[in-house]
Amino acid sequence: MKQKIAIITPVPDMVESVIQNSMIRKAVDKGILDIHIVNPRDFTEGTYRQIDDAPYGGGPGMVMMAEPLFKAIDFVIDKFCGEDGMRVLYPSPQGIPWCQDSAEENKSVEKIVIICGHYKGVDQRVIDKYVTHEYSMGDFVLSCGEIPALMIVDSIVRLLPGVLNDINSSKSDTFSSELLDVPYYTQPREIKGMQVPDVLLSGHHSKITDWKKEQQVEITKSKRPDIWKKYINNKSE
């Protein structure tokens, strides 16, 4: 299955620049992924190509208008040959947290549309009509939806078979297992008095494996006690 992803954004250059300098481009070049960038301004009328307006009921800020987004999404649906198997994602502080499990789940989705919000967000009717999943990157607010959209895409694409040179690399990442990942070292062996741990230079694979497991445990316990607690609870079940 070739995955298809469309990103609806009023600043396509921002998205394109990241795609051209990331694993996403590699996936496209290999024929693993089709990616489409759609600008809602292309579906407006008038000189100013307006996509935002003041909110009904008053209040500060502006809201992305429904009509340009409706037309942009309908354009993508037509391009994707229908809504079957399609998810429409909207990065939002009100969404459920995006995590590694989310990326694993969405890597098997054939068609994904991501709406990049701006200003105070999008007209609620866009969410009600089209959005299937809302995701949050954390308990903070960003000035645009392109950054979380690209985070979502990158975390999915790197899991697609053939994108990474070694698929086992992604399987050993932090959050791909129940514990945090291990420390990594490369050349030189010594720099400014700091040495590579002797065990990694020993050539004893079983000792290296034991060391890595110990490191995972200690790092998880000290840096993410919440993950360590979850790990212990899962083992006791």
* Burial annotation 20-52 (CB, 10 A radius, 16+ → b, else e): eeebbbbbbeeebbebebbbbbebbeeeeeebb
pLDDT of residue 216: 95
The mean pLDDT of 182-209, rounded to a whole number, is 95
Taking the model in full, what pTM does it have? 0.86
d(CA 226, CA 223): 9
Q: Strands, E, within the chain: which ranges? A: 3-8, 33-38, 52-53, 63-64, 86-97, 111-115, 133-136, 190-191, 194-195
Q: Label residue 158 by pLDDT band (50, 70, 90).
A: very high
Task: Please tell me whether the peptide bond between 97 and the residue prior to it is cis, using omega within 30 degrees of 0.
Answer: no
3-state DSSP call for residue 206?
helix
Neighbours of 93 (CB within 10 A): 15
pLDDT above 90 as % of the chain: 88
pLDDT of residue 236: 80
pLDDT digits (tens, 9 = 90+) for 57-92: 999 999 999 999 999 999 999 999 898 999 999 999
d(CA 188, CA 183): 15
d(CA 204, CA 47): 69
Q: In the CATH hierarchy, which top-level class contains the domain 3-157? A: alpha beta
pLDDT of residue 81: 86
Residue 173 has pLDDT above 90, yes or no: no
CATH fold, domain 177-236, is Trp Operon Repressor; Chain A (1.10.1270)
How crowded is the C-beta side of 173, counted as CA atoms within 13 Å? 17
Query: Please, is 90 exposed, middle or buried when counting C-beta atoms within 10 Å of its C-beta (0-12, 13-18, 19+)?
Result: buried
How crowded is the C-beta side of 12, counted as CA atoms within 13 Å? 11
Residue-averaged pLDDT of the chain: 93
Q: Label residue 131 by pLDDT band (50, 70, 90).
A: very high
pLDDT of residue 169: 58
Q: Label residue 176 by pLDDT band (50, 70, 90).
A: low
pLDDT of residue 235: 85
Q: Which of 126-130, 172-176, 213-217, 221-225 has the lowest mean pLDDT?
A: 172-176
Residue 209 dihedral angles phi and psi, to the nearest 5°: -60, -45
pLDDT of residue 47: 87
Q: What is the domain partition of the chain in residue ranges?
A: 3-157, 177-236
d(CA 177, CA 158): 16
Residue 127 has pLDDT above 70, yes or no: yes
The mean pLDDT of 95-117, rounded to a whole number, is 97
